Amino acid sequence: MTQEYIDAPPAIKLGTSTAQVGTAPPVAKDVTYERILNAREGEPQNWISYYGNYDGQRYSLLDQINTENVKRLSPAWVFQFGSQGLHAGPSTYAFEATPLVVDGVMYVSGWDGWVWAVDAKTGKQLWQYKHAIPFDVSLCCGNVNRGVAVAEGKVFVATLNAHVVALDAETGEALWDTVHGDVRAGESATVAPLVVKDMVIVGSSGGEFGSRGHLDAYNINTGERVWRCYMIPKPGEPGSETWPADGEAWQRGGGNCWVTGTFDPELNMLFWGTGNPAPDFDGEVREGDNLFTDSVVAVDVDNGTIQWHYQFTPHDLWDYDSNMESILFEQDGRKLLAHFDKNGYFFVLDRTNGELVRVTPFVDRITWGEIDANGNVTPKIYPEKEGENVHFYPGPAGAKEWTHAAYSPRTDLFYVPVQDTGSTVARRRREFKEGIPYWGAAVTVDSEDMRGSVTAFSASTSEEVWRWENEIPMCASVLATAGDLVFAGEPSGEFNALDARTGELLWSFQCGSGHHSSPVTYSIDGRQYVAVPVGWGSWVEGFLPGMIGGPHGAGLFVFALPEE
């Protein structure tokens, strides 16, 4: 006898079976370029772009929480999420984002294509978006995403399978979806987009797979590409003389753009860091300086052309990406740029032309080579002979990873999360094959004899002013506020507040999982909050293998002073 099927209940979107509200108030509708341009002074209650402001200072004018009362800081709410089913990089997912806050609504991305809108006062989920990510997408460094951009009623996110998606900020529904990269070529995307004018700027990931790095601009209303700027020149283009003339090396040269850049509206320039050359450690197959890898490039935001560049590690043999932020600041009327590179040196450049102003080391142990006061680079220890181990400091994660420093105009100090860890590397040549990791080496990062700090440096002289030391490296972004506080998370879970003037530890809270994200601050109805995503993971084997057993987490903690 044939049994008739009964109708199953209708299929649902998973988010409808949660306590989420389903919609967010229309606060993002009026986020314009002008508002983003004047964000710090114009609306200190918000954090509306990746660094809080185009200058990348990660500094807030909010001062309700200060050195006197920070000891009373307490959790206000916690947003928790977790993994469902079997997703890409199930052992490497981490919560790396910078949350954005617009007039009481928080927009934050997670691992594996998640984006959430959350009530920034209560922690209640408003909506969720999930981009379906292929299980087999190429990820060098974990299932992560560093954040979203918001403008004109839209939330922009780059997905791990290299799409750029614009969401309706009120509902989380996709408005447009543009393919940004080629997953079959090992490309992905983890960067937080940056909105400038009517464009959303997005960089590539995939340097460990021998891709050709690029920075792209898309129209925020249509998703159409406005320009693409490749970071590896083709033969005949400016910079191509730094690649072998008769080879294919440039085609797989790396130079990806996986961390958000900064922007100077007067110069109309983006300052974007580029990643390592490929293969990471085998320089013999790519003789030359390998422009524009390991550089900051000044890009005309209107047409995507490179105006100038400064290369921090020519002919890199140590995996010293230079993606990390370029902080814009002024001194004696001069437009400057500060950059703490993976190679252990603190660079100050004239950002109008890329001229070196000062360069000084910012970590204790640097053995890979030396950079003199004029910027001349002398390599000393590097993988050269096939199969022969060499040990150098800093390791491939760098003296500072992508996680961000901050600058306080009140103290005129930069605050830097420092990693002091070495690594053993042996060159191991391999053929290039599309979609297969292309390192050219065997690598083991030290899991002993390591340390870290938050170190403060004078913006005027680049000299160290104070140092808060930690037994293990510091692997999360820091935040500076006008309350003279520096917030910094530890790999072991503590979230700390330091006195920005002295480095004294004033407050600490154990969040239960390591920090590898970027805290922000905002206020609603006159109450200041500090928010930090917490979720240990990513490429721990590269930046802190001594903590590879650390607990994964997936929470966003928000702190405030007790209400009177």
Partner 1 sequence: MTTAKREEQVLSEVVSELGLDKQNRATIGRLLTHGGGLAHAEEGSDGRMRATIRIPEDELIYEPSILVMPHGGEIDIELLNDDTNTHCALLPSNGDYVWQWLPNHSRGTVTLDLDGPGYYWYSSNVGNDEGKGLFGAIVVLGDVPAEARLDRPAQPRV
Catalytic residue annotation? 319
Site stretch for partner 1 (CB under 8 A), options 12-20, 329-337, 344-352, 382-390:
12-20
Q: How far is the CB of 435 from partner 1 (least distance, A)?
A: 7
**Cβ closest to partner 1, residue 436 vs residue 548:** 436
DSSP secondary-structure letter at 223? -
Task: Give the Cα separation of 164 and 327 in Å (integer).
Answer: 26
Q: Does 302 bind partner 1 (CB under 8 A)?
A: no
Q: Are 522 and 101 in contact (CB under 8 A)?
A: yes
Q: Which of 55, 119, 168, 187 binds partner 1 (CB under 8 A)?
A: 187
Site stretch for partner 1 (CB under 8 A), options 14-22, 47-55, 324-332, 513-521:
14-22
Q: Does 177 bind partner 1 (CB under 8 A)?
A: yes
Q: Are 191 and 248 in contact (CB under 8 A)?
A: no
**Cβ closest to partner 1, residue 175 vs residue 506:** 175
For the chain, state the CA radius of gyration. Answer: 22
Location of structure tokens 């199953």: 8
Q: Does 236 bind partner 1 (CB under 8 A)?
A: no
Q: How far is the CB of 546 from partner 1 (least distance, A)?
A: 32
Q: Does 130 bind partner 1 (CB under 8 A)?
A: yes
Task: Give the Cα separation of 417 and 169 in Å (integer).
Answer: 33
Q: Does 129 bind partner 1 (CB under 8 A)?
A: yes
Q: Which of 132, 526, 549, 564 binds partner 1 (CB under 8 A)?
A: 132
**Number of neighbouring beta carbons within 10 Å of residue 222:** 13
Task: Give the Cα separation of 505 and 389 in Å (integer).
Answer: 40
Phi-psi label, residue 437: left if phi above 0, alpha if psi -120 to 50, beta otherwise:
beta
Task: Give the Cα separation of 128 and 21 in Å (integer).
Answer: 10
* Residue type, position 443, single letter: V
Q: Does 154 bind partner 1 (CB under 8 A)?
A: no
Q: Is the peptide bond before 394 cis (omega within 30 degrees of 0)?
A: yes
Location of structure tokens 């002008």: 34
- Token pair for residue 109? 């991305």
What are the CA-CA distances from residue 234 to residues 121, 140, 202, 307, 504 (Å)? Answer: 50, 25, 21, 17, 51
Q: Does 103 bind partner 1 (CB under 8 A)?
A: no
Q: Does 85 bind partner 1 (CB under 8 A)?
A: yes
Task: Give the Cα separation of 405 and 403 in Å (integer).
Answer: 7
Task: Give the Cα separation of 261 and 326 in Å (integer).
Answer: 7
Q: Does 163 bind partner 1 (CB under 8 A)?
A: yes
Task: Give the Cα separation of 76 and 90 in Å (integer).
Answer: 30
Q: Are 67 and 110 in contact (CB under 8 A)?
A: no
**Cβ closest to partner 1, residue 3 vs residue 374:** 3
Q: Which of 43, 63, 103, 182 binds partner 1 (CB under 8 A)?
A: 182
Q: How far is the CB of 519 from partner 1 (least distance, A)?
A: 28
Q: How far is the CB of 16 from partner 1 (least distance, A)?
A: 8
Q: What is the DSSP string of 461-493?
A: T--EEEEEEESS---S-EEEETTTEEEEE-TTS
Q: Which of 32, 80, 84, 458 binds partner 1 (CB under 8 A)?
A: 84
Task: Give the Cα separation of 265 and 74 in Å (integer).
Answer: 38
Q: How far is the CB of 244 from partner 1 (least distance, A)?
A: 15
- Strand-pair partners of 248: none
Q: How far is the CB of 237 from partner 1 (least distance, A)?
A: 11
Q: Does 131 bind partner 1 (CB under 8 A)?
A: yes
Q: How far is the CB of 296 from partner 1 (least distance, A)?
A: 22
Best CA proximity match to 543, nearest among 495, 451, 475, 478 = 475
What x/- string results for residues 19 through 58 when contact with partner 1 is judged by CB under 8 A? Answer: ----------------------------------------
Site stretch for partner 1 (CB under 8 A), options 65-73, 79-87, 442-450, 532-540:
79-87
Best CA proximity match to 349, nearest among 365, 331, 324 = 331
Q: Are 277 and 287 in contact (CB under 8 A)?
A: no
Q: How far is the CB of 39 from partner 1 (least distance, A)?
A: 30
Q: How far is the CB of 436 from partner 1 (least distance, A)?
A: 6
How many residues touch partner 1 under the rule CB under 8 A: the total is 56
- Strand-pair partners of 377: 371
Task: Give the Cα separation of 104 and 409 in Å (integer).
Answer: 26
Task: Give the Cα separation of 323 and 116 in Å (integer).
Answer: 26
**Cβ closest to partner 1, residue 233 vs residue 535:** 233
Site stretch for partner 1 (CB under 8 A), options 27-35, 118-126, 180-188, 456-464:
180-188
Q: Which of 1, 19, 86, 373 binds partner 1 (CB under 8 A)?
A: 86
Q: Which of 35, 225, 358, 451 binds partner 1 (CB under 8 A)?
A: 225
Q: How far is the CB of 173 from partner 1 (least distance, A)?
A: 7
Site stretch for partner 1 (CB under 8 A), options 51-59, 122-130, 352-360, 396-404:
122-130
DSSP secondary-structure letter at 431? -
**Cβ closest to partner 1, residue 88 vs residue 399:** 88
Q: Does 184 bind partner 1 (CB under 8 A)?
A: yes
Site stretch for partner 1 (CB under 8 A), options 68-76, 181-189, 275-283, 464-472:
181-189
Q: How far is the CB of 548 from partner 1 (least distance, A)?
A: 24
Task: Give the Cα separation of 551 and 514 in Å (integer).
Answer: 7
- Beta pairing, strands 485-489 & 262-264: unpaired
What x/- string results for residues 411 through 450 when contact with partner 1 is judged by CB under 8 A? Answer: --------------------xxxxxx--------------
- Token pair for residue 434? 């599309």
Binding residues (CB under 8 A) for partner 1: these are 3, 5-15, 17, 84-87, 128-137, 161-163, 173-174, 177, 179-185, 187, 211-212, 214, 225, 230, 234, 248, 251-252, 431-436
